Structure 1
Amino acid sequence: MPPTLLTRFAWPCLLVLSGCAIYGPAETVLPRQQAWVDGRRVDYVTTDISDHAMAAQAGVNHVPRLADALGAGRASLTERVYKFADGSQISVFASGPAAPGADRPDPNYSPLWRLVLARWKAGASPRELRSEEAVLAAESEGSLTLEVTGIVVNCPITRGVDGAALRGVR
């Protein structure tokens, strides 16, 4: 049987024979990014953004409904992520899961983040900020401006501050 016919007919059979696990002919790899959480690096992926222009630029799903997670009269489902508008450093997450995975769930963790744009003021001495506390201190001292946006991003942490990773993360 030619390879194209084998692929066409064998693929559905593999799905049936494998039960719930889906094995495909190629592995999908999402670009790994890094951010700071409480002075330690974490890995994450971005899959969805509520803002069209940002989603198009990042090459991810544009999901306007993510903005509903902000609450509008009820509790927000989001945490804050501080993104440096000039790209001078990696983002800073307000928090992260105690450990990724199902064994030790963190009731305060959400992969939905409200984007806060951080900009160094003219004359300020930019430095790497590694925690939300450091970001807020730089704002308090007058070195940094923070613009809270209505943009929500879905960025699940795939490798936590403890170094443990979700299954399938290399």
Structure 2
Amino acid sequence: MKKRWIGLGLISLLMTGCASLGSSPVSEPSITMPLFPGWFDDRKVYYITTDASPVAAAIDKNANFAPRLNDALPPRPKPPELKTVIERIYGFPEGDQPAILPSAPDPIGATSVNRPYSPIWQIYEVRWIATSERRELTSESALFDAEANGWVSITATEMVVNCAVVADAEGNHLPGSMIQGL
């Protein structure tokens, strides 16, 4: 798969590591990572991609290969009562538009009340069938309407990614992070 999702900004994150578990980050080191745009309920959000599986997805996303992410995939068909950590992310492999996310933290940070949000995503590919109807879709409901009208096809992949939503277009971002270029 060609690299089509392009970062729009940069985020500097203070890296504390899971082992520290403290509430205050260390003063060094820092890292700069690309932000990827996405749409959640007609709002532009930004996420980072740190891990992916299978290896081809990790290479494509410039991420860590994390084979255990595939353990998050539920059996198919997924029983409706089965709750899992995995969420869908709808990607447009032809570069048509940013991804569509069905959940995001609200607000971004530790006070989020959006219980369905998870940073573990199974990638669903979206392709336009009716190119004359092509437009930017900015929510999962708009995507499902386009599918119901026969304008797009949505196909589940075996790709799983760890993509945390870290900022939005209004300038909200993870506490302790610094945003450049938004």
TM range, normalised to the smaller chain? Answer: 0.7 to 0.9
Length-normalised TM-score, structure 1? 0.80
Query: What are the within-5 Å matches in structure 2 for residues 114-125 of structure 1?
Result: 114-121=122-129, 123-125=131-133
**Are residue 50 (structure 1) and residue 53 (structure 2) matched?**
yes
The match for 1:157 among 165, 172, 178 is 165
Cα displacement (A) at 1:33: 1.1
1:48-72 CA-to-partner distances (Å, cap 9, x unmatched) read: 1112112112211011111111233
**Are residue 70 (structure 1) and residue 73 (structure 2) matched?**
yes
SS at match of 1:41: strand
Matched residues, number = 151
CA RMSD of aligned residues (A): 2.1
Cα distance in structure 2, aligned partners of 1:161 and 1:71? 32
Cα displacement (A) at 1:34: 0.9
**Greater per-residue helix proportion:** 1
Cα displacement (A) at 1:122: 5.1
Task: Work out which of the two has the higher radius of gyration on C-alpha atoms and give 1 or 2.
Answer: 1
Cα distance in structure 1, aligned partners of 2:116 and 2:36? 22
Cα distance in structure 2, aligned partners of 1:23 and 1:157? 23
**Are residue 22 (structure 1) and residue 26 (structure 2) matched?**
yes
Cα distance in structure 2, aligned partners of 1:112 and 1:93? 11
Partner of 1:102: 110
Partner of 1:169: 178
Residue pair 1:99, 1:161 contacting (<8 A) in 2 also: no
Cα distance in structure 2, aligned partners of 1:146 and 1:51? 20
Length-normalised TM-score, structure 2? 0.75
Cα displacement (A) at 1:160: 4.2
Residue pair 1:50, 1:153 contacting (<8 A) in 2 also: yes
Which moves more between the two structures, 48-57 or 96-105?
96-105
Cα distance in structure 2, aligned partners of 1:94 and 1:121? 22
SS at match of 2:34: coil
- The one-letter amino acid paired with 1:146 is I
Uncovered stretches (5+) of structure 1, i.e. residues with no partner:
1-19
The match for 1:126 among 128, 134, 139 is 134
SS at match of 1:117: strand
**Greater per-residue strand proportion:** 2
Cα displacement (A) at 1:164: 2.1
Residue pair 2:57, 2:159 contacting (<8 A) in 1 also: no
SS at match of 2:56: helix
Cα displacement (A) at 1:169: 3.3
Partner of 1:10: none
Cα distance in structure 1, aligned partners of 2:127 and 2:39? 17
User: Percent identity, aligned pairs only?
Assistant: 35
Cα distance in structure 2, aligned partners of 1:39 and 1:152? 24
SS at match of 1:30: strand
Question: For residues 129 and 162 of structure 1, do their structure 2 counterparts lie closer, same or farther at Cα, with a shift above 3 Å needed?
Answer: same
- The one-letter amino acid paired with 2:121 is W
SS at match of 2:49: coil
Cα distance in structure 1, aligned partners of 2:87 and 2:170? 20
Cα displacement (A) at 1:152: 1.0
